[in-house]
Chain A
Amino acid sequence: EDKVVQSPLSLVVHEGDTVTLNCSYEVTNFRSLLWYKQEKKAPTFLFMLTSSGIEKKSGRLSSILDKKELFSILNITATQTGDSAVYLCAVRGRTTDSWGKLQFGAGTQVVVTP
């Protein structure tokens, strides 16, 4: 069965710190890896990664995928209290069994203190 493991499960940092979140995966016929941010309600899309070694950036957030070692990292630099959330990693396979299906990890709870 496909598996997604995120670490750490939670962390507390001070404003201005940099955080690195990890996501390792095992999936049959990998297609893509996605990162979401979940505050109170709906997860909101951050990044989709399909190719190794190509960094995706959006403001202070960036992410990269390593398809050989089967993991991805999400970096947040100069953290702000508004970055406090659960960050979810999900993978998608390319078999017909996994049509559209995202396999999620348990998430990393990030708390940024003032």
Chain B
Amino acid sequence: DTAVSQTPKYLVTQMGNDKSIKCEQNLGHDTMYWYKQDSKKFLKIMFSYNNKELIINETVPNRFSPKSPDKAHLNLHINSLELGDSAVYFCASSLKATGDYGYTFGSGTRLTVV
């Protein structure tokens, strides 16, 4: 059983479109995250939700809007896609936000904006 699953795995879309990426975890974790990995392989946090509540909101354009309908799901909606949004987006979860807990990552969504 996949612990953290993301869909779709690949997404190719035109500039200006709106798209969503979905994430689900079956680990019973309280906290979920979105990370962006650019072409230089840097993983940078975008958002974190703890029990459906937004706790981390880094400097991300407001075209990006996360939504957490329950603590097992964290979706990412992106409006008006730009070329610079092309990257791999990783969802992750941890048991709790505080404390010494590692992350479990999903397998990533490769977004290509053309």
Contacts and interface: CB of A to CB of B under 8 A. Distances in A.
Interface of A: 31-32, 34, 38, 41-45, 48, 50, 86, 88, 90, 99-104, 106-107, 109
B106 A99 contact: no
B87 to A, nearest CB: 14
A106 B41 contact: yes
A102 B108 contact: no
A48 B106 CA distance: 19
A9 B48 CA distance: 28
Contacts, number: 60
Given A43-B105, A99-B48, A100-B31, A88 B43 contact: yes
Interface of B: 4, 31, 33, 40-45, 48, 50, 55-56, 90, 94, 96-98, 100-108
Nearest to B43: A104
Contacts of B96: 100
B56 A102 contact: no
Contacts of A103: 45
Given A32-B100, A86-B41, A100 B108 contact: no
B55 A99 contact: yes
A99 B100 contact: no
Contacts of B4: 42
Nearest to A90: B43
Nearest to B90: A42
Contacts of A32: 100
Given A42-B108, A100-B56, A100-B98, A106 B42 contact: yes
